[in-house]
Chains A and B, each alone.
Chain A
Amino acid sequence: MRRWGPAAVLFAGGLAVWEAAVRIFNIKGFILPAPTAIAAAFEAEASDLFEAGWSTFTTALAGLAAGSAAAVLVSLAAARWRFIRDGAVPFAVAANSTPIIVLAPIANSWFGILSPAGSIFVVAVLVFFPVMINMVRGLLSADASQMELLDSYAARRGTVLRKLQLPTSGPYLFSAMKVAAALSLIGAIVKEFFGGPQARLGQYITTKAGLLQFEEAWAAIALASAFGMALYLLVVWIERRAIPWHISVRRA
């Protein structure tokens, strides 16, 4: 309670200031609706919002899982075989610095505008590169003397990978996954801006904004942030269980 107290007070305070500012300065709804107005819209639209939000969220989650799983597999191969590393890593670094989200409209023509596969594909590609780059770095960052220790036991290459390199990469993987979690929701929503079924957050927001129903658009934005946080917390929850030994997780 004491740990969360200050954050809760700050959050409530922020909302109060927002509400007061909108009322005092008479800010128009299409510029910035008051929190109470957004809450009212949220309540009225709850079932539509949740339907759209849930679809977007599960798409992001599927893309995140698929992209990360692929990244982990490629990383393992890259850590094991030098020629894969030398071939794939520079490409991954280059791909990681391009705005992959530009694939969104292309994905529509590949997978059909109504298919969730297009969104999952975009999200998966989006998260693939940062996860892979960090995972490869993690796999290769095993301590030199720990490597020598395993060598002194005449451990096989696969054993070293499994017992030393893989655990070493855990913290790297989870830092990448936290970034990727946020990225996945951004990817899913932006992809939906380019069309697709109505019952999706991206479509919902563009539609409502187009109709000047900004309270509803803001309600969707609030829901998107809630899902974003949920995704982040899910990664943290898994991290706590997967690497309880790590300094960022452990409690003395």
Chain B
Amino acid sequence: MTAVRLSGVDMVFNPGTGQEVKALAGIDLAVGQGEFVSLIGPSGCGKSTMLRLIGDLISPTVGAVAVNGKTPSAARIDRDYGMVFQSATLLEWRKIRANVELPLEIMETDKGERRERAEAMLELVGLADFADHYPWQLSGGMQQRVSIARALAFEPSILLMDEPFGALDEMTRERMQAELLRIWSETRTTVVFVTHSIPEAVFLSNRVVIMSPRPGRITRAVDIDLPQPRNRETREDQRFFELLTSVRDGLRAVEDM
């Protein structure tokens, strides 16, 4: 079954004004249930816009978006989305546990179950010992793990991640990628992941979608046939390098356009 489908989507901001920006043009994309798809491209290619369209934070100017066979707004009301942003966006007045419980609280899950889920999620991201800390007492990488735990807490069917590791240093980033893959393999959530890092896209995804800017278009998709589970050795695999090259070539072709 298809988890996300965009058909003939155009996105124009401020239409009919002097500041009209055509952000996306003619986007067709289907993401299968349980698939991990990365969107990659230079800044301004509309990859975040695409994520926000899927997540019903904005609506397309032309074309249709379907999520689990519903409109994005129905999917949002059904709580199908877990969002992870570039910054952890934790609520600084809540302790870590309460931050992870936030979506469950809003969805009126009962207290005992809330607590249990939060414990389990913090366990999953390796932060069980920090449940009673405030966000500012944690490093950037740990905060981002909390935001992933929060996104997973209510078992959304689709995880939308907008450069979640963009602000982290290289080593933390690689550790977080491995962690995310482990979580993904345990939860089998569909993931749409925006990044501008080629190795990150290749290491994580089943498929890397390459985009070009002004207006944002999909120029190519590269299937990533690296075996699961992926680990440190994957990064040294000959095939990993071949795929890096083919994604890089795809992005170069975009630049030369």
Contacts and interface: CB of A to CB of B under 8 A. Distances in A.
Interface string B76-117: 110101110101010111100000001101110000000000
A164 B93 CA distance: 10
Interface string A132-144: 0000000000010
B136 interface: yes
Contact of B83 (A152, A155, A163, A245): A152
B134 A250 contact: yes
Contacts of A154: 76-77, 79
A167 B90 CA distance: 13
B119 to A, nearest CB: 20
A150 interface: yes
Given A153-B79, A243-B93, A250-B136, A148 B106 contact: no
A198 interface: no
12 contacts: A145-B85, A145-B89, A146-B91, A148-B83, A149-B83, A151-B76, A152-B56, A153-B79, A245-B94, A246-B93, A247-B136, A252-B137
A115 interface: no
Interface of A: 143, 145-146, 148-155, 159, 163-164, 167, 170, 243, 245-247, 250, 252
B106 A155 contact: yes
A39 B201 CA distance: 76
A154 B91 CA distance: 17
A143 B103 contact: no
B55 interface: yes
Given A152-B82, A163-B105, 6 more contacts: A153-B103, A159-B106, A163-B91, A163-B102, A247-B136, A252-B137
Contacts of B92: 245-246
A153 B106 contact: yes
Please report whether the interface of chain A is mostly helix, strand, loop or mixed according to DSSP.
Answer: helix
Contacts of B82: 152
A14 to B, nearest CB: 38
A153 B106 CA distance: 7
Contact of A148 (B57, B102, B107, B134): B57
Given A152-B55, A170-B93, A245 B85 contact: no
A150 B136 CA distance: 20
A164 B91 contact: yes
Interface string B134-157: 101100000000000000000000
Top 4 A-B residue pairs of the complex, sorted by shortest distance between their CB atoms: A245-B93, A152-B83, A167-B93, A154-B77
A150 B106 contact: yes
A149 B89 contact: yes
A138 to B, nearest CB: 13
Contact of B87 (A145, A155, A159, A170): A145
Give the one of B55, B82, B91, B105 with max A CB within 10 A. Answer: B91
A121 B160 CA distance: 53
Nearest to A170: B93
B54 to A, nearest CB: 11
A145 to B, nearest CB: 5
Contacts of B79: 153-154
A4 to B, nearest CB: 27
Contacts of A149: 83, 85, 89
Nearest to A150: B106
A124 B56 CA distance: 45
A163 B89 contact: no
Nearest to B108: A159
B48 to A, nearest CB: 11
A149 B91 CA distance: 10
Contacts of A143: 89
A150 B81 CA distance: 11
Nearest to B52: A148
Contacts of B81: 152
B144 to A, nearest CB: 13
A163 B85 contact: no
Nearest to B57: A148
Given A153-B103, A153-B106, A154-B76, A167 B89 contact: no
B136 A153 contact: no
Given A154-B76, A154-B77, A250-B136, A146 B106 contact: no
